[in-house]
Amino acid sequence: MGKFRLPVEVWLPYDVTRNSTAFYFTYCYVVASVGNGAIGSGVIDPLIAGLAYQATAQLKILKNNLQYLAEYVDEEIFHNSQNSVNCDYTNEESLRANILYEKIKFCIKHHNAILDYIVHYEKTYSSAVFTQFMASVLVICNACLQLSMVQPFTYTFFAMLVFLITMLAEIFLYSYYGTTLFEESNTLTNAIYMGRWYEYDLKSRNALILLMERSKRPITVTAGKILDLSLVTFTTILRRAYSLLAVLKNY
């Protein structure tokens, strides 16, 4: 019996020790069954967290377009002149002003699309992420408690260790991507200032001022409209889990 021992205690309708074929088949089935939930969670959570980074990537593109706006306009004007494109504008200055204003309008629409994306993201996943954060306090605490009780370098020890690392990684991804989104949105005004805004016409500068005023409020993603997805929240979860673990260890 000691030779044929499953990694977890489980009731079976047949004798698993009758032969090696039945044992190894059952062993693989039990391991796959237990690991299926962990694998599914390990795949879905990074996917949901990664959707928040989609907004961050779009903000980086927007910042690049705003910072090098004058260069892109010059490139387009040069391309038009090289290909002798017919224009309705009377001179190059009016052509430049109109192209510049159209590109700024596109950047404003891009920024609005990012804001709308974050609104839909929160409506869809905010409550689920909040539940994940609240449950993670108990799960991390329980995993640490189990690690302190089991014998080191056993199957249970490594299983709990992998589970704990996976849980921490999932929570960290949410917090990290939320922090990067906040930081990128908070530096949108800097990208505009680093461009050649002093060469723009009055209408274009006014449009940029409107975009800068709107971007003064950084973009944040929340969990349940209560917790921000940030590294500060990640450290708060760890502190709460440790406090609960300290209480349980005293009893």
CB atoms within 10 A of CB 86: 5
d(CA 37, CA 43): 10
Quote the CA–CA distance of 247 and 251 in Å, as a whole number. 7
The answer to whether 201 and 104 have CB atoms below 8 angstroms apart is no
Neighbours of 221 (CB within 10 A): 24
Among 227, 189, 181, 174, smallest CA distance to 55 is for: 181
pLDDT in tens, the chain (251 residues): 446 677 667 777 777 777 788 888 888 887 777 667 667 666 788 888 889 999 999 999 999 999 999 999 988 887 777 665 554 445 678 888 899 999 999 999 999 999 999 999 999 999 989 998 999 999 899 889 888 888 888 877 888 888 888 889 889 999 999 999 999 999 999 999 999 999 999 999 999 999 999 998 889 999 988 899 999 999 999 999 999 998 888 86
Length of the chain: 251
Residue 189 near residue 215, CB atoms below 8 Å = yes
Angle, helices 20-67 vs 92-149, to 10°: value is 150
d(CA 232, CA 238): 10
Domain ranges in the chain are 46-249
* CA atoms lying within 13 Å on the CB side of residue 239: 6
Identify the CA nearest to 56 among candidates 182, 217, 227.
182
Which residues fall within 8 angstroms of residue 56, CB to CB, at 6 or more apart? 177, 180, 181, 184
Q: At what angle do helices 231-249 and 155-186 cross, to 10 degrees?
A: 150
Measured distance CA(98)–CA(74) in Å, rounded: 12
pTM score, two decimals? 0.80
Domain at 46-249, CATH from 1.10.150, 1.20.1050, 1.10.3470, 3.30.70? 1.20.1050
